[in-house]
Amino acid sequence: MSHIPSLPDIAAGRCTSEEISERFSDLHPPLKHHEALVAADRCYFCFDAPCTIACPTSIDIPLFIRQIATGTAEAAAKTIFDQNILGGMCARVCPTETLCEEVCVRETAEGQPVLIGQLQRYATDTVMASGVHPYAREPKTGKSIAIVGAGPAGLACAHRLAMHGHSVTIYDARQKGGGLNEYGIAAYKAPDDFAQQELDWLMSIGGIVIETGARLGDDLSLTLLQSDHDAVFLGMGLSGVNALALEGTHDGICDAVDWIESMRQSPDKTDISVGRNVVVIGGGMTAVDAAIQSKLLGAETVTIAYRRDKGAMSASEFEQELATSKGVHILFNATPETVSNGAITFSRTGTDEQITLPADQIMRAIGQKLESASADLAIDGGKIKVDENGRTSVKGIWAGGDCASGGEDLTVTAVAEGRDAAEDIHANLMKGS
């Protein structure tokens, strides 16, 4: 983790514990039973459902909503988990407004989609609260698979392989499993330590062991993993941070991902330092999460500065509006040029105009990169090259999630890639058995 600055104008304790508890409560409070039934009743149960097509994990959305409507939330959860074992977290963090809900027929007709994400949470929370795991392991196969990375892709892959009777060991560089779900998303999206609750529930299937503090490239090599296991899956995400070239010096610069990680691991967040005037450079979800949480922690002004226009911003329209509703200003077409302690200057794209903003704290959120991979693995666009089944250029090694080439860098996409790779690994290991 890079240094998180603590300077006179970057301080902790700008809000009380009570204020923080209120500000970081659930972004979308869970639906009550009657609310879920009313929301489910709005679904047309489309035969050729566009919502299912839009879902990266291909959940049968009309089916699970019908199951909720008929009072069988447990069956609805099983429908979800069959496709997405991390359906509880995805219900909280998935950009449903640009996926399933965007194409909902109700959205097209009325401008108000069925609350698919909240209904998914209702169903999955019901089963997880019961403490019952809806899957049992098949007979042991005697096969062993190594998974690098305990994030969404790795966990989805591990669970599916464990279901098939394989033994799985997950190696993760951090001290806790969960990956992005535990360390990288905004605290108000998954309060009450939900990432660890979901991890424990997933692990209850058995057959999965997590070894923490094991980073690929240190004492852990692909050669060693291949010799000790029958197959290897890489799902370690993108741990490197892209560089940002700026003239001048500023003592309050840090990486947004590190600051968010500190936020997520803090018990009550009163110890997290934030500036009075915060500038976040970037246009994705990390930038939005850092900016909103800075404001919630008591920063007086928070600005997201993005070098392109609004339409090119990778954070969704919903997330942009959420940021502005919390008092965050978004500055478009602004390229950072120079810094000095207490300020940052931008040039307007395509013009000679310059804008200088006060900035005690500057956070970089300009994307991440692959930090460690074997030289034997083919790389495509800065990521591990994989085919449609997640196979890498090295026999016996698969990859998925943010570290692999392919789909969008979303939790739900990572789950789909981990799940599908697991099925291909299983098919390959069981040939001739």
What is the CATH classification number for the domain harbouring 389?
A: 3.50.50.60
pLDDT higher than 90, residue 392? yes
Closest Cα partner for 146 from 382, 343, 429? 429
pLDDT tens track for 299-320: 999 999 999 999 999 999 999 9
**pLDDT band, very low/low/confident/very high, at 2 (cuts 50, 70, 90):** low
Quote the pTM value: 0.95
What does the alpha-carbon distance between residue 328 and residue 291 come to, in Å, rounded to a whole number?
7
What does the alpha-carbon distance between residue 23 and residue 325 come to, in Å, rounded to a whole number?
13
| Structural domain boundaries, residue 164 | 144-238+370-429
| In a shared domain, residues 245 and 363 | yes
What does the alpha-carbon distance between residue 210 and residue 223 come to, in Å, rounded to a whole number?
19
4 domain-assigned: no
pLDDT higher than 90, residue 91? yes
Domain's final residue, options 82, 105, 130: 130
| In a shared domain, residues 195 and 270 | no
Domain count for the chain:
3
Token pair for 350: 């395509």
**pLDDT band, very low/low/confident/very high, at 241 (cuts 50, 70, 90):** confident
361 domain-assigned: yes
Phi and psi at residue 401, in whole multiples of 5°?
A: 85, -160
| In a shared domain, residues 229 and 298 | no
| In a shared domain, residues 335 and 321 | yes
| In a shared domain, residues 233 and 249 | no
Q: Are 79 and 126 in contact (CB under 8 A)?
A: no
pLDDT tens track for 131-187: 889 999 999 999 999 999 999 999 999 999 999 999 999 999 999 999 999 999 999
**pLDDT band, very low/low/confident/very high, at 75 (cuts 50, 70, 90):** very high
